[in-house]
Amino acid sequence: MIILKTENLSKEFPGVLALDNVNFDLEEGEIHGIVGENGAGKSTLVKILAGVFPPTRGKIYLYGKELHSHSPRELINIIGFVDQERELIPSFTVIENLFLGNEIVQGGFLKNRELQEKAKTFLKNYNVNLDLLALTRNLSPGQQQMLTIMKVLFRKPKIIIFDEPTASLSVKEIEIFNRLIEELRASKVSIIYISHRLSEVLSFANRITVLRNGKKVVTVRANEVSEKDLIRYMIAKDMHEQYPKIKKEIGDRIFEVKNYTNKKYGFNNINFYIKSGEIVGFAGLVGSGRTELAKLIFTGDRNSVGEIIFLSKEFIPKGPKDSINKGIVMIPEKRREEGIILGMSVKDNLALPNLDILSIGGFLKEQAINKHSLFLINSFNIKLASPLQLVYTLSGGNQQKVSVAKWLGERKINLWIFDEPTQGIDVETKTEIYLFMENLAKNGAGVWFISSDLNELLAISDRIYVMNKHKIVGEFSPPYNREMILSKMLGG
């Protein structure tokens, strides 16, 4: 019997179609795996099912009845969701988190003894060993994950959604988790299971749905496919999308990181280099440490050890201001939070990093600023009504152009860090940004290119490092072996 079903489910975020007409169904008592590359739409799909946000179009049926704009609260006892981001309150004890929103009370007072008894038997049932009175923030990431799972199970939902449940678990915890899954299967709970670990999905799932670019590729029986088949489904075949490539000369090493270690952030002996004229791609899963590494090097951190050579000189990162003055800029991944200032005009956003040059004795040179912003707006083809327009009114692609364009000024920049520069923007703008990166490299700068979109990474990069669990686990040069890169990304 099918208990949960979607019909032509779509979700649009500003400028991007995250989910495109997906038909998905879940049978009673089955474990249904969902796989796909980063950004394929897996999390979007399950978040809609869990009621985190509504779909833009399409229908959801639960037990054959159509669901209308449901909120997570209404369904919390039917659909349980173990999110990638753990929803625990760090300053609460284990037991407080376990019962959160589900407390046993009498006349407004908590019945502590009863709560404890109940929690003990419950955890024991699933062989989970947690100190009930420990503060949640003192638990290991794995223990926190187990607690999150227990919290969801506690409500005895009919359907459980797991989004990357084992990413932070230790070997021993994974064993406990595997047993837990078998128990749930035996008690006829239906499970939707997202994981990058294909072997795991293959061993658990009855059926597997593969998503790619927001579309469903296929739903298959797990015993009829191999890991290789899945990877083939996950990878897009339409490789002849437009990725511009400019001929450029690759020079000497412009930037080199030697034995970079930062215990606090879990980096140990990171080594890599970027040559002038080179676009160096960083592949990896979300959470593999690519963004953190770039940010630490750009913004500086006192826990950092190791040597960084930039333009043949030792470079000790002191902060964004210092890095920028020395010729390194970063276009951050979270453009709305970090790349632009939403409530300021396009003109002001474009002028902001260049005000030292665009002012005399502190006073702004209005004419120069106008000229500067018009130049950037034209050369980047930023579509707007007026330079005085507030940035938040622009589309995602145009916002990203502002975030990139503002760095063009009198300043000489030798290393550009692009963190997911094309995420959530339209195809046309993507191509423009690739072209811009190519031109930067052609003019002798080095480009550090972080992307979760493997297609663009392979097409644009002159060399690729693969990161996994805060380590560089591979270095590749063209022609790229796509399967090798993917397996390094997913490995371990």
Partner 1 sequence: MIEREARFEFQNFFIRYGTIFALFLITVFFSLTAKGFVEIANILNILRQISLLTIISEGFTMCLLIGEIDLSFAQIASLASVISADLMLKGWNPLISVLLSLSVGPLIGLGNGVLVTKVGIPALITTLSTGMITGGTVYMYTKGISLYGNMPISFLNIGRGNIGPLPILVLIMLLFVSLFQIVVNKTKFGKYMRATGENPTAAWLAGINIESYKRLGFILSGLGAAITGVLLTARLGAASPEGASGFLMDGFATALLGQTVFGIGKPTPFGTFIGALIVGTLNNGMTLLGAPYYIQDITKGIIIILSVSATSLQKKKIERR
52 binds partner 1 (CB under 8 A): no
Pick between residue 348 and residue 462 the one whose CB is nearest to partner 1.
348
Check residue 344 for interaction with partner 1 (CB under 8 A).
yes
Residue 324 lies near partner 1 (rule: CB under 8 A):
yes
Quick check: 332 binds partner 1 (CB under 8 A)? Answer: yes
SS3 of residue 280 by DSSP: strand
**Contact in structure between 283 and 466 (CB atoms under 8 Å):** yes
Cβ proximity to partner 1: between 192 and 340 the closer is: 340
The one segment of 30-38, 244-252, 335-343, 427-435 that binds partner 1 by CB under 8 A? 335-343
368 forms part of the interface with partner 1 (CB under 8 A) = no
Please report which helix (H) or strand (E) contains residue 149, including its range. Answer: helix 141-153
Q: Which is nearer to partner 1, 380 or 476 (CB)?
A: 380
Q: Which of 234, 351, 384, 405 binds partner 1 (CB under 8 A)?
A: 351
Two structure tokens written together for 265: 């952030």
Q: State yes or no: residue 179 binds partner 1 (CB under 8 A).
A: no
Q: How far is residue 63's CA from residue 209's CA, in Å, rounded to a whole number?
A: 20
- Cβ pair 285, 38 in contact under 8 A: yes
Element (H, E) at 281: strand 279-283
**Whole-number minimum distance, CB 338 to partner 1, in Å?**
5
Comparing CB distances to partner 1, the nearer of 339 and 474 is: 339
Q: How far is the CB of 392 from partner 1 (least distance, A)?
A: 5
- With binding defined as CB under 8 A, does residue 339 bind partner 1? yes
- Please identify, using beta-carbon distances, which residue of 109 and 363 lies nearer to partner 1: 363
Binding residue for partner 1, selected from 14, 90, 251, 266, defined by CB under 8 A: 14
Residue 320 binds to partner 1 (criterion: CB under 8 A)? yes
Out of 393, 439, 443, 481, the residue judged to bind partner 1 by CB under 8 A? 393
Asked if 402 touches partner 1 (CB under 8 A), the answer is no
Q: How far apart are CA 23 and CA 59, in angstroms?
A: 9
Is residue 140 part of the contact set for partner 1 (CB under 8 A)?
no
If one asks whether residue 165 binds partner 1 (CB under 8 A), the answer comes out as: no
Instruction: Please tell me whether residue 222 binds partner 1 under the rule CB under 8 A.
Output: no
Direct distance between the N- and C-terminal alpha carbons of the chain, in angstroms, rounded to an integer: 36
Chain positions contacting partner 1, by CB under 8 A: 14, 298-299, 319-321, 323-325, 330, 332, 337-344, 348, 351-353, 355-356, 359, 362-364, 366, 390, 392-393, 406
